[in-house]
Amino acid sequence: MSKYTVYGDDAFDRKIDALLAMVSARVIGTVGQENLAALVLGGGYGRGEGGVLLKSNGEMSLYNDFDIFVITSDISRLKRRCINRILRNLSPELSMTAGIDVDFSPAKNISDLNSAEFTMMWQELKHGHVVIYGPENILDRLPAFDLNNMPHEELARLMLNRGTGLLLARQRMGKSQLKDEDVDFIVRNIWKAVMACGDSYLAMHHTYSHSYKRRSELFDAYKDDPEISEFYQWYKASIEFKLKPVMPEEDKLQAMLNQAGKFFARFYLYVFNVCLGTHGMNFAQIQTAFYEHPPFANNETLQQMLKNLIINILEVGPVNFNLHLFFKYPRTRLFIVLPAILFDNEANRDYILLLPGISISSSGDEILKSYLKLWNRFN
C-alpha cells in the first residue's frame, strides 16, 4: 500500500521520499535547524491521497503540489517573517527540482499550535499528514475540532477561493491558442470548483471528512436527491481526478468550464444563503446582505475593528472610503465583489466600486487585476 497515494507503488513512494528529504535538507540548511521545530507534509500526499499522473509510456508522475507546513521554535515575529521571505525565494528552486510546486505555509510557532483556530486547513492537516522533520507527534498540540461542524466562514472562504480559480480559468480560456500549461490550469480549476461544491454540501450536512475517498463514499447518500442527481457524477469525477488525473480533449474544455460554472453558481447561492441564515436570496441580495450585515464580523472586538481600519487604510486606500466596511476585515469586500465579476449580469455590478482604484468606466482587465491583488493578500 502506497504511503502517499492511492494509485502509486513502492517505487513511486521512494521517489517522493527522496524529494522530501531533499526539500527538508535545503530548508534546514537555509533557515537554520535551531529555528525549526518541524516540517510537515499536508495536502493530498500528506493524507496518502496524492495525485498519480500516468504518462503515455506508463511511467508514474507527480501531479499535485507539495504543501509543506513550517513549524518554528518559539522565535520572534521578525524572525518568522524573515523565514517566510527566505522560503518564498527558495520555493521556485525546489519546485523546479521536484517537478511540481513546493509551497510553504507561513511559519507558525510551536507554542501557537495549542490555540490554533478552527480552520479547514489545520484540521485536515491534523487528521492526515506526514512529518518530514521533527517529532512525529508534533500536531497532537492542535485542538481536535469536529470536522462535521465546520465554521460557515471556512466554507464561504472555500467558495471564494474556488470561484476565483474559475475566474482565472476563464481568463486563460480566452487565449487565442492554449499551451499545455494553460489546459492543465483550466482543468485543475474546473475540478477544484466542482469538488468545492460537493465538499461544502457535505459540510453543511455535517458529513464531511478529511479523506477524498471517504467524501466520495459519503456523497452516495445524496445521489437520489433531485437537487444533486445531475451533479453527483461530476463530484465523483472531481475526486477521481484528484487521485489519478486524466486530461480531457481540448475541444471539450469550454463545455466543461461552462457546466462547472453553472454548478458553482447554484452551490454558491446555497452556501451563502446558509451562511446568512436565509433561503432563496439571489446574488445581488446576498451581496447587499454581506455589505450591510457581514455575518462573520459579529464577534469582533474593538481592538480587531481598529486593526481592520488600519489594514483597510493601508491596503485599500482612501478611495470610496466608508466607515461601514473600513472597520471590517478586507475579506468581507471580496465576498461582496466576487459575484459581480464571476456571475456578471446576475449580480449587482455596482459593487465593483469597492475595489481599490476602480471606477464605473474601468475595463474588465483593470477590475480583475484590482480584485486579484486584494484576493492574493486576504483570501
Question: How do residues 2-16 score in pLDDT, each as one tens digit?
Answer: 899 999 999 999 999
In whole angstroms, what is the distance from residue 118 CA to residue 137 CA? 19
For helices 152-173 and 180-204, give the axis angle rounded to 10 degrees: 160
Question: How do residues 169-198 score in pLDDT, each as one tens digit?
Answer: 999 999 989 999 999 999 999 999 999 999
Predicted local distance difference test score (pLDDT) of residue 319: 64
Region 101-130: mean pLDDT is 94
Confidence band (pLDDT; 50, 70, 90) for 232?
A: very high
Grid coordinates standing for 27? 530548508
- In the chain, % of residues over pLDDT 90: 78
Q: Residue 120: name the closest of 102, 146, 141, 99 by CA.
A: 146
Phi, psi of 249 (to 5 degrees): -70, 145
Topology (CATH level 3) of domain 10-144: Beta Polymerase; domain 2 (3.30.460)
Least confident of 18-27, 155-164, 223-232, 262-271: 223-232
Q: Residue 89 burial by CB count (10 A; 0-12/13-18/19+): exposed, middle or buried?
A: exposed
Classify residue 40 by its DSSP letter: E
Locate the domains of the chain by residue range. 10-144, 149-378
pTM of the model: 0.93
Least confident of 123-137, 259-273, 357-371: 357-371
Question: How do residues 295-342 score in pLDDT, each as one tens digit?
Answer: 887 677 888 888 888 888 888 877 666 677 888 888 999 999 999 999
Predicted local distance difference test score (pLDDT) of residue 306: 85
Phi, psi of 187 (to 5 degrees): -65, -45
- pLDDT, mean over the chain: 92
Least confident of 139-143, 246-250, 308-312: 308-312
